[in-house]
Structure 1
């Protein structure tokens, strides 16, 4: 049977590769903004998938679940009008392809073997929304030997849904720092030739692209809003060296607040749902009412108001570091006064309680339910179940943390998965089984006898050349 005639595919889902300018053969160095150094590992992973397809009779589909590339971390030699315009984004894609030839060759081999690739768009590669960028991406694969790229390489701006099998999306829509007000039509309403970037993108553009000249892995601290607290604790001298960048970031990003009033923003959203979202339902494969209900679960973008920006910039990071600062201050007051007043001891007890709460949150195992994406997956499962559209696996990316957890307390299925990342990780807590990088992914197959769906969270062990279960505690 020809591959184009197959309707059932086993799925390999991975995300958050963050390719940027890559390796410069002339200088023998990587770009300072680069996060993906594993082109050879990815190539070997693809070869193993092709071997398994032959030996096990599998028909794979590769799903890259957002943030394949990081366009904002690609700097062009000349300044161009429209940072996120289609012509500028095509030029950046050329830079990415030159810096990652082995990656594009591997992807082309996969497509040339007859297997489709679905690319879900994330917040760091939203520029893939432009048809011109999609066409150039397909052409790059064709230049490396891929065939039938128009049919086999598809782009999905939001949801990848297969009935009875999987619901998948990148996940930025449930994170107010990175959500888009009108994801399927993300252009600025008053400048449709450029994209309306979320708050988190300006961290990359105005802060990390400069800081990474001194600290190349600054944007590998997740979430990005905690970088300053993390850096103050681990690299205080570098924070002082980059203090000017922080001030410039704060001053510039506060000018990015939406000029629309709350009523105007709401009217824009309702018009988007009516004119763009509902007509897209047939392409996605979900009823319009269900798609609109999922859209209403999205977090309000931080740039929608000055207050939300202040909360994202100051309140959330201070919530992480505040209890520790209060503990230290209370201890200082208690030691300074041997007979400290009652309010000092009450402050100390309250601060210790806050610190304990924070530490318990950071120590949550990756197999326990929690976090905004798990809550979103549970809400989406309830919506799909109510309409007879439920699936056994709900897969997200975005947070860079590989996770697996049941969505219902008494049932093994359905499960929530997070694919993790193929970039270096700066952990928040000590992880005995963790390393600087783990090539994690989700595999979804069917039992050959019962036909039951078998979703698994796996890891590519590049040193051993094999796929293994990901150990989670």
Structure 2
């Protein structure tokens, strides 16, 4: 583990080719990189975009969509290039909305646009997990959400998921409820079939190759691939329970990821590679909680999009953006989740927002 190292984690920016951004997300992250990351003097700096950085339709159009996102947001990609030039490593973890970043052509386009040079490795794409031994485990989190799970996540070319099938059949000839239900059932069947494929040796060899890249024992990653397996009846019951809880105002948004973090911790502990921090995105709700029956903690990076679902201060104040940070200085390691305040007038305020989660804000003052 390197000393004097800083990691910043943000997720769910949902930047699409159409350029729509109710919160000014691209401008906010651009200024964050300049005012916080580049202003930090740690010898080693990493920025982790923990999934759903982009909203991509996927497959063959993915590389072209990355180009379109960059064309609409030249200042952001300029900031990426400045970070890389200043020896900041950018990590893009794939989420359910940008899973096709792992395709070779899309990965190459992103690396070129973000400024990766010949021979350097400062723009990295992670299809599933980012792991730092003794420090943290990070993934987007959709693998633990039944309606988004991709059992064969390491195979390019995503299978249809139940939620995607439901959304795609909202309009046109698929508007009839029976057509939508049929599409969902077919998608659920495809996910169940993929769960069986994930148990077979050809896919297991892919897992072993990915384990070597991640830095985990192969047996540990094989076990992690089985956490949160899709089962139709429990998945349907969970969705029905969520609908009922929401109708009476008792929905605990994202509780499944807290449970998943505990299961991931148990799995890694069994293989001697547990860590003190487990980071996820996906739920759009920033959190910092203890992992059940352990000394580790679960950190959720929330969202920088307008689709905030938690009851934190960013729900009422669109100028607040959640950031998870891990700082290493000598033997000391600290991890926290804070809100960074941004305004389109580029004025930063250092007050601590009130929150059910008691997160202080990131204090940043603009250099005059």
Q: Under a length normalisation based on structure 1, what TM-score does the superposition of the two structures give? A: 0.65
Give me the whole-angstrom Cα distance separating, in 2, the residues matched to 1:205 and 1:112. Answer: 41
Choose from 302, 316, 327 the match for 1:435. Answer: 316
Give me the whole-angstrom Cα distance separating, in 1, the residues matched to 2:235 and 2:40. Answer: 48
> Which SS does the other structure have where 2:49 is aligned?
strand
Instruction: Name 1:348's counterpart in structure 2.
Output: none
Please say if residues 283 and 309 of structure 2, whose CA atoms lie closer than 8 Å, have aligned partners that are also in contact. Answer: no
Give me the whole-angstrom Cα distance separating, in 2, the residues matched to 1:151 and 1:469. Answer: 36
Greater helix proportion: 1
> 1:59-458, aligned counterparts within 5 Å?
59-72=44-57, 84-86=58-60, 88-142=61-115, 147-148=117-118, 150-187=120-157, 195-207=158-170, 245=175, 247=177, 250=180, 253-254=183-184, 256-257=186-187, 265-300=195-230, 315-316=240-241, 318-320=243-245, 355=248, 359=250, 361-362=251-252, 371-408=255-292, 413-425=295-307, 427=309, 434-437=315-318, 438-448=320-330, 451-458=331-338
Q: Under a length normalisation based on structure 2, what TM-score does the superposition of the two structures give? A: 0.82
Unaligned stretches of 5+ in structure 2?
Answer: 357-368
Give me the whole-angstrom Cα distance separating, in 2, the residues matched to 1:261 and 1:40. Answer: 37
Taking a change above 3 Å as real, the CA distance of residues 67 and 468 of structure 1, as seen in their structure-2 partners, is farther
Give me the whole-angstrom Cα distance separating, in 2, the residues matched to 1:135 and 1:432. Answer: 37
Q: Structure 1, residues 201-255: CA drift from partner, whole Å, max 9, x if none?
A: 3355444xx7xxxxxxxxxxxxxxxxxxxxxxxxxxxxxxx99857487156336
Please say if residues 207 and 222 of structure 2, whose CA atoms lie closer than 8 Å, have aligned partners that are also in contact. Answer: yes
> Which SS does the other structure have where 1:102 is aligned?
helix
> Which SS does the other structure have where 1:103 is aligned?
helix
Unaligned stretches of 5+ in structure 1?
Answer: 1-5, 24-29, 73-83, 188-194, 211-241, 325-354, 365-369
Give me the whole-angstrom Cα distance separating, in 2, the residues matched to 1:132 and 1:14. Answer: 24
Give me the whole-angstrom Cα distance separating, in 2, the residues matched to 1:470 and 1:64. Answer: 24
Q: Structure 1, residues 421-460: CA drift from partner, whole Å, max 9, x if none?
A: 001135476x677425331111100244xx1210010121
How many pairs does the alignment contain? 351
How many Å apart are 1:166 and its aligned residue? 0.8
Q: Which moved more, 1:261-270 or 1:384-393?
A: 261-270
> Which SS does the other structure have where 1:395 is aligned?
strand
How many Å apart are 1:371 and its aligned residue? 1.1
> Which SS does the other structure have where 1:46 is aligned?
helix
RMSD: 3.3
In our comparison, the structure showing a higher alpha carbon Rg is: 1
Please say if residues 460 and 468 of structure 1, whose CA atoms lie closer than 8 Å, have aligned partners that are also in contact. Answer: no
Please say if residues 286 and 300 of structure 2, whose CA atoms lie closer than 8 Å, have aligned partners that are also in contact. Answer: yes
Taking a change above 3 Å as real, the CA distance of residues 252 and 94 of structure 1, as seen in their structure-2 partners, is farther
Please say if residues 91 and 125 of structure 2, whose CA atoms lie closer than 8 Å, have aligned partners that are also in contact. Answer: yes
